[in-house]
Structure formats: C-alpha cells, structure tokens
Amino acid sequence: MVFSRAMWGMSALVWVVVAVLWCVWWGWPAIFVVVVFGLLPDVALVGAFAERGKLKPSRVSFYNALHNVAVPAALILVGFVVLFVTGGIATGSWGIALAGLAWFVHIAADRALGFGLRAADGSIIPVR
C-alpha cells in the first residue's frame, strides 16, 4: 500500500500532537528525546551532498536506512510494550516509545513534503 503525501501529512500531524502532549506530561526529558530522535534521520545528510539535491552514492544506503519506516515502527511497538509492562502512562518507561514516535514523525513529515527515499545515484525518489 502506498501512502499519498496527504496521508503522510495527516499521520505526521496526529502523531506530532501526541508527542507534544507526552512532552507536556513528562517534561524536559521527553522534550530532549523528541528533539534528538526527531533530528536523528538527518544525521545521514551531514557531509553527504555530492551536488545540488543529490547525495553521494556511498551515503544513499545510510540515508535510506535512517528514513525507513520499519525501524521507528519497531521502536514504537517495543516501546509501548515496555511502557505498559513497567507501569503504564503514569509511571512506566516511556523513552523508547517516544523516541520511535519522534523518528516516525520526522519521516512522515518528509514524505508529506514529497521527500522519499533516495535512488542509487543519490537523487530523491518523489512521493506522490
């Protein structure tokens, strides 16, 4: 199933609201987790540009790995299990779930703006 840009945008909006509410609930440590994991996928861009709009071919696989939805989705799933096993929303360990959520929001926002994964030559595969 292929999501359209509008679907990615709606998903990003819903989950960013959830992340903000969790940050209000859990405070500064949660804000730190959201900022770090929200920016994490773009670590792949540091020093990776070959020319305007293209990555170096050697960096494409790292970029695509950090922008693959499977990793943050797995973090969210494991994080929710950990959260509820350790005490639930009020007292549980929320860091893993929030990290995955922030990472997912970053990817969903990229897709909503039309930035998909990268082709082998480093060019963007557009999201329609």
pLDDT on residue 90: 75
The answer to whether the CB of 108 falls within 8 A of the CB of 11 is: yes
pTM score, whole prediction? 0.91
What is the percent of the chain where pLDDT is above 70?
A: 98
Q: What is the spatial distance between Cα 61 and Cα 46, in angstroms, rounded to a whole number?
A: 14
pLDDT on residue 2: 66
- Of 76, 79, 67, the C-alpha closest to 107 is 67
Containing domain of residue 29, as a range? Answer: 5-126
Q: Based on the structure, what is the number of domains in the chain?
A: 1
Q: What is the spatial distance between Cα 122 and Cα 51, in angstroms, rounded to a whole number?
A: 9
pLDDT on residue 82: 93
Residue-wise over 69-82: b if at least 16 C-beta within 10 A, else e? eebbeebbeebbee
